[in-house]
Amino acid sequence: IAAEKNGYDHFMLKEIHEQPAALRETLRGNIKDQVADLAHFNIDDIFADVKKIYIVACGTAYHAGLVGRWAIEKLARIPVETEIASEFRYRDVLWHPQSLMIVISQSGETADTMAVLREAKRNGIRVLAVTNVVGSAVSREADRVIYTHAGPEIAVASTKAYSTQLLIMYLLALHLARVRGTMPLNELKELTGELARIDGLAEKVFEQQNRIKEMAARHKDVQNTFFLGRGFDYAVAMEGALKLKEISYIHAEAYAAGELKHGPLALIYEGVPVLALITQDHLVEKTMSNIREVKARGAIVIAICKANLQESCQECDEQIILPDVNPILAPIVGVIPLQIFAYYMAIFRGADVDKPRNLAKSVTVE
Ligand code: G6P
């Protein structure tokens, strides 16, 4: 087993570092003539008259689905509803007659996700699966399948599966935007060009690894943490908080920054770390005003911010700088520091990183 870790201490760290390569693998063959082209997955017929999309998943895959919602709505202008499978399956869904379902599942075996897939099919709704495992239950029963090429993911906490799921969400949004003509071709090509280089941007984040490790060493004894963001940053905050709680057992709460005043502000006390995602240029000032509120109550604010926004977030106590990237695509790079942070927090607390207590890689029973 040790050999499979390729010199890394844990599968999780190895898989975090495999992300640029996994992104490259997942990009391969999906961009042609500078535009995203997923026609080879045979999906154009099932999307032809679609007026509504449901995205359903569990855990980390659900967080990828949240990014998918924002990307598809923004670029391809199709209304999307993203929901947790265990909730969706017991809801009295008002199925839109011209709808399509996307299920996202690394393993392709999650019981709740499978149940929703079957329920959709019973209702005559076509299902597109996004999965990492060829031949999985989800891939067998869905009408169409798009594979992430993350390679085997061993650590219970998902990392490279998530970033490649995000990549598929963007490719799909760009593909649909092109087919539907919802974006000017030059803008489409520009964003696609940036997505085609996202593996290199992801690679650059590792330059900050030591800094993040030191940060984790400073904060390892905390009991509570908060993750804030708006828009795409909120989705990443949710994933960052999940990583931290899964493997370090520290209480981590993600909140939409604008919702702070409606509750969590009451929980802020002297010295509590607040990790703030700052990648959405048009929302920086809004998020900064929320940050001032937590700082005024003694929180230590760690900003994960894009290089071009560094100046705006100088008031933050600590900074992790992300390479400049289009805000729409920022989640792919923004999540990496949070994965590394969670990893080292768990290490410094002596937790079993690859096999966290009480959790399983794949939840095949309800
Ligand atoms: C478990 C795993 C998570 C994963 C979730 C959904 O909770 O520990 O890492 O995100 O299941 O799994 P799936 O295989 O459907 O993506």
Q: Residue 359: CB within 6 Å of ligand 1?
A: yes
Is pTM beyond 0.80 here?
Answer: yes
Question: What average pLDDT does the segment 230-235 reach?
Answer: 98
Q: What is the pLDDT of residues 90-133, one digit of tens each?
A: 999 999 999 999 999 999 999 999 999 999 999 999 999 999 99
Q: Mutual orientation of helices 160-180 and 19-27 as an angle, nearest 10°?
A: 30
Query: For a pLDDT cut of 70, what percent of the chain falls above it?
Result: 99
On the question of pLDDT at 1 being above 80, the answer is: no
Question: What average pLDDT does the segment 264-274 reach?
Answer: 95
Q: Residue 159: CB within 6 Å of ligand 1?
A: no
Distance 58 CA to ligand 1 centre (A): 6
Distance 106 CA to ligand 1 centre (A): 7
Nearest one of 188, 191, 168 to 178, comparing CA atoms: 188
- Using CA atoms, how far apart are residues 89 and 118, in angstroms rounded to an integer? 10
Pocket mutation for ligand 1, best pick of 116, 355, 362 (most atoms within 8 Å of C-beta): 362
Q: Residue 107: CB within 6 Å of ligand 1?
A: yes
Q: What is the pLDDT of residues 284-299, one digit of tens each?
A: 999 999 999 999 999 9
- From the list 74, 189, 295, 361, the catalytic residue is 361
Question: What average pLDDT does the segment 21-48 reach?
Answer: 97
306 is catalytic: no
Q: What is the pLDDT of residue 4?
A: 86
Q: What is the pLDDT of residues 318-363, one digit of tens each?
A: 999 999 999 999 999 999 999 999 999 999 999 999 999 999 999 9
Pocket mutation for ligand 1, best pick of 138, 158, 242 (most atoms within 8 Å of C-beta): 158
Q: Residue 154: CB within 6 Å of ligand 1?
A: no
Distance 361 CA to ligand 1 centre (A): 6
- Using CA atoms, how far apart are residues 282 and 305, in angstroms rounded to an integer? 13
Q: What is the pLDDT of residue 365?
A: 86
Q: Residue 65: CB within 6 Å of ligand 1?
A: no
